[in-house]
Structures are given as structure tokens and as C-alpha cells.
Amino acid sequence: MKLVLQRVTGASVSVDEKEIACINKGLMVLFGAEKGDGEGQADFLAEKTLNLRIFPDENGKMNRSCLDVGGSILVVSQFTLAGDCSRGRRPGFDRAAAPETARALYEYYARVLGQSGLPIAMGQFAANMKVSLVNDGPVTFLLER
């Protein structure tokens, strides 16, 4: 399982020219499930997402988590995170989880995040989405499990 976390001042997702989700200050998470991934990885990464200290404190040091600052989280499924670009010029997706497995893990991860009480928004699984965000910092991390 791979996640790209971006600290944002705002982010939104549109499908067919219609905005379906938006957040203000918080995290934009791109979510990619791979073959063999399960709820254990999702639990670990949800805890990490909520508690990673990447927001500034009063001294400007990255010392606060999304929970600490009461941020929102926008989760967008992105199977291309499982892409293999090591050979040729066309990415291979053999590592990507099957769509039904990926959807279940994506929804599970978002539910676990939601247990924190923070506002959680989601993109639309398997849709052609337009994602807009203002990366704050920029601060971007790749999490894998």
C-alpha cells in the first residue's frame, strides 16, 4: 500500500465538471493498493496519517499532527501509485490490487480515518477525477507499508 500525503491549505475533487469533495486546511492523500495488501496495512497507515507531525507549531517547527490542528483529510484513490516504470516506456500495473479489493481497502482506510472525528472527504473510486490543491510548504511525504 502506498500513500502520498500532502499538507494543504485546501483541496478539491471534481468528476464530470462537478465538485464532489473539498477540504480546507489538512491533508490530501493519494491512496494506492497493491496485491497482498490488507486491513493491517490500512490500519497502520491511517494511524500514521493522523499522527504524523508535519504541521507547524507556534515556532514554525513541524511538531503538530493533523489531529492536533483539527485538519480535514481528502482521500483520493490512485491505482497508478502501483505502477512499475522500471522497464520500457509504458507503466505496468501488475502490482495493483484488483479493483474490488482496492475499493474495499480505500473505503476501509477512510472509515478508520473517520473514527478520529476529523472531517474526511473522498474522491470517486475508478472515476476520471480532476484534483486541485494548494500544497502548503510544499510538504509531501510518501508512506508505504
Q: Is 49 a catalytic residue?
A: no
Q: Is 78 a catalytic residue?
A: yes
CA distances to 27, 65, 95, 134 from 59, in Å: 21, 15, 42, 22
Of the listed 9, 80, 93, 115, which one is catalytic? 80
Cβ neighbourhood burial of 31 (10 Å; 0-12, 13-18, 19+): buried
Of the listed 6, 41, 49, 78, which one is catalytic? 78
Q: Is 79 a catalytic residue?
A: yes
Of the listed 31, 44, 79, 125, which one is catalytic? 79
Hey, what's the cell of 129?
A: 477525477
Residues designated catalytic: 78-80
